A and B are shown apart, each in its own frame.
Chain A
Amino acid sequence: MTDVTTRAEQRLSSRDGAIGRRDRRKEDDRLLQGAGRYVGDVGPSRVLEMAVGRCPFPHARIKSIDVRPALEVPGVFQVLTGDEVRARSGPIGLLRPDFDAPPLPSYGLADGKATYEGQGVVSVVATTRHIAEDAVQLVDIDYEVLPHVTDLELALDADAPVIHPEVMSSNLLSIKEFGRGDVEARLREAHASVEARYVINRVSALPMEPRAVLAEWQPGARELTVHASTQVPHLVRRQLADVLGLPESLVRVVARDVGGGFGLKLGVYPEDVLVSLHAISLRRPVRFLEDRNEHFRASTHARQAAHDYRMGVDASGRILAMEDVYTNDLGAANSAFGSSQQSTIVFSGPYRVTDGRVERRVAVTNKTPAGAYRGFGQPEVNFACERTVDRVARRLGMDPVDFRLRNMLRPDELPWTNPVGSYYDSGDYPSSLRMASSAVDYDGHKSRPRRQPDGRYRGIGFSAYVERTGVGAPKADEESGALFGAHESVTLRANWAGGLDLYSGVSSFGQGSETVFAQMCSQLTGVPYEDVVVHAGDTNAAPTNTGGFASRTVIAAAGAIERGAQEFTDRVRRLGSNALRTDADAVELVDGAVRVIDEPDRSISLRSIFRMAILGERLPPGESPGLEVTSYFSPSHAAYAFGTAAAVVNVDAETGEFEVERIVMVHDSGVAINPMLVEGQVVGGIVQALGAAVGEELVYDEETGQLLNGTMMDYFAPLAPDIPRIQVISTEVPSPVTPLGVRGAGESGTIPVAAALANAICNALDEFAVELDRLPITPEQVWRAVQAARAL
Chain B
Amino acid sequence: MTQIWPSPGGALPAAPDEPRAPVSLEVNGLRVAGEVPVRLSAADFLRHDLGLTGTHVGCEQGVCGMCTVIVDGKAIKSCLMLAVQLDGRSVRTVESLAGGESLSPLQAAFKEEHALQCGYCTPAFLMTATALETCPRRLSREEIREEIAGVMCRCTGYEGIVAAVERRLRERGVGVDD
Which candidate, A252-260, A387-395, A496-504, is the interface stretch facing chain B? A252-260
A24 touches B (CB below 8 Å)? yes
How many whole Å from A230's CB to the nearest CB in chain B?
Answer: 13
Which candidate, A329-337, A484-492, A712-720, is the interface stretch facing chain B? A712-720
A90 touches B (CB below 8 Å)? no
Known: A32-B110, A32-B126. A262 touches B154 (CB 8 A): yes
How many whole Å from A379's CB to the nearest CB in chain B?
Answer: 16
Known: A259-B118, A680-B160. A721 touches B149 (CB 8 A): yes
Alpha-carbon gap, A679 to B142, bound state (A): 22
How many whole Å from A31's CB to the nearest CB in chain B?
Answer: 3
A688 touches B (CB below 8 Å)? yes
CB atoms of A41 and B145 under 8 A apart: no
The proximity string for B residues 83-107 relative to A, scoring 1 for CB distances below 8 Å and 0 otherwise, is 0000000000111011001010001
Alpha-carbon gap, A62 to B31, bound state (A): 52
Contacts of A208 in B (CB 8 A): 56, 58, 64, 66, 118, 120-121, 152-155
How many interface residues does chain A have, given as a range?
35 or more
How many whole Å from A33's CB to the nearest CB in chain B?
Answer: 5
How many whole Å from B157's CB to the nearest CB in chain A?
Answer: 3
Known: A73-B15, A688-B157. 9 other contacts (CB 8 A): A28-B116, A30-B119, A32-B98, A46-B12, A74-B15, A205-B154, A208-B153, A260-B154, A720-B162
A75 touches B (CB below 8 Å)? yes
B74 touches A (CB below 8 Å)? no
CB atoms of A32 and B111 under 8 A apart: yes
How many whole Å from B169's CB to the nearest CB in chain A?
Answer: 15
Query: What are 11 A-B contacts with C-beta separation under 8 Å?
Result: A24-B112, A28-B110, A32-B97, A40-B47, A128-B15, A207-B118, A208-B64, A208-B121, A257-B119, A687-B158, A712-B61
Alpha-carbon gap, A210 to B58, bound state (A): 7
Alpha-carbon gap, A677 to B126, bound state (A): 20
Indicate which residue in B14, B58, B117, B159 contacts A131 across the interface (CB closer than 8 Å).
Answer: B14
A438 touches B (CB below 8 Å)? no
Indicate which residue in B16, B60, B111 contacts A74 across the interface (CB closer than 8 Å).
Answer: B16
How many whole Å from A518's CB to the nearest CB in chain B?
Answer: 15
A711 touches B (CB below 8 Å)? yes
Known: A43-B9, A75-B15, A512-B117. A684 touches B149 (CB 8 A): no
Alpha-carbon gap, A43 to B39, bound state (A): 22
B50 touches A (CB below 8 Å)? no
A209 touches B (CB below 8 Å)? yes
A708 touches B (CB below 8 Å)? no
Contacts of B58 in A (CB 8 A): 208-210, 292
How many whole Å from B15's CB to the nearest CB in chain A?
Answer: 5
CB atoms of B120 and A38 under 8 A apart: yes
Contacts of A662 in B (CB 8 A): none
Which residues of B in the span 105-149 have a Cβ within 8 Å of any Cβ on A? Answer: 107, 110-112, 114, 116-123, 126, 141-142, 145-146, 148-149
CB atoms of A31 and B122 under 8 A apart: yes
- For residue A683, which residue of chain B has the nearest CB? B157
Alpha-carbon gap, A680 to B52, bound state (A): 29
How many interface residues does chain B have, given as a range?
35 or more
CB atoms of B94 and A712 under 8 A apart: no
CB atoms of B14 and A721 under 8 A apart: no
A: residues with CB less than 8 A from B are: 1-2, 24-25, 27-36, 38, 40-41, 43, 45-48, 73-75, 127-128, 130-131, 205-210, 257-262, 289, 291-292, 508-512, 676-677, 679-680, 683-688, 711-713, 717-721, 723, 726
CB atoms of A713 and B61 under 8 A apart: yes
Alpha-carbon gap, A130 to B63, bound state (A): 21
B175 touches A (CB below 8 Å)? no
Alpha-carbon gap, A112 to B141, bound state (A): 56
Which residues of B in the span 26-54 have a Cβ within 8 Å of any Cβ on A? Answer: 37, 39-40, 47, 52-54
CB < 8 Å A-B pair total: 192
Indicate which residue in B16, B95, B145 contacts A34 across the interface (CB closer than 8 Å).
Answer: B95
CB atoms of A32 and B160 under 8 A apart: no
CB atoms of B120 and A209 under 8 A apart: yes
CB atoms of A676 and B120 under 8 A apart: no
CB atoms of B146 and A721 under 8 A apart: yes
Alpha-carbon gap, A75 to B97, bound state (A): 37
How many whole Å from A554's CB to the nearest CB in chain B?
Answer: 15
How many whole Å from A710's CB to the nearest CB in chain B?
Answer: 11
CB atoms of A75 and B103 under 8 A apart: no
Interface centre among B107, B126, B148, B158 (most CB of A within 10 A): B158
Known: A32-B111, A34-B94, A208-B118. A711 touches B53 (CB 8 A): no
Indicate which residue in A29, A289, A717 contacts B152 across the interface (CB closer than 8 Å).
Answer: A717
CB atoms of A258 and B148 under 8 A apart: no
Alpha-carbon gap, A684 to B114, bound state (A): 12
CB atoms of A41 and B53 under 8 A apart: yes
Indicate which residue in A33, A205, A261, A683 contacts B107 across the interface (CB closer than 8 Å).
Answer: A33
- For residue A127, which residue of chain B has the nearest CB? B12
Indicate which residue in B53, B114, B120 contacts A259 across the interface (CB closer than 8 Å).
Answer: B120
Alpha-carbon gap, A259 to B116, bound state (A): 11
Known: A34-B94, A75-B15, A680-B114. A712 touches B54 (CB 8 A): no
Alpha-carbon gap, A688 to B153, bound state (A): 10
CB atoms of A206 and B118 under 8 A apart: no
Alpha-carbon gap, A300 to B135, bound state (A): 41
Known: A292-B60, A687-B158. A33 touches B54 (CB 8 A): yes
CB atoms of B114 and A35 under 8 A apart: no
Contacts of A683 in B (CB 8 A): 156-157, 159-160
- For residue B156, which residue of chain A has the nearest CB? A684
Contacts of B56 in A (CB 8 A): 38, 40, 208-209, 259
CB atoms of A33 and B118 under 8 A apart: no
Alpha-carbon gap, A685 to B155, bound state (A): 8
Indicate which residue in A128, A205, A684 contacts B11 across the interface (CB closer than 8 Å).
Answer: A128
Indicate which residue in B53, B59, B97, B153 contacts A292 across the interface (CB closer than 8 Å).
Answer: B59
Alpha-carbon gap, A29 to B116, bound state (A): 11
Contacts of B110 in A (CB 8 A): 28, 32
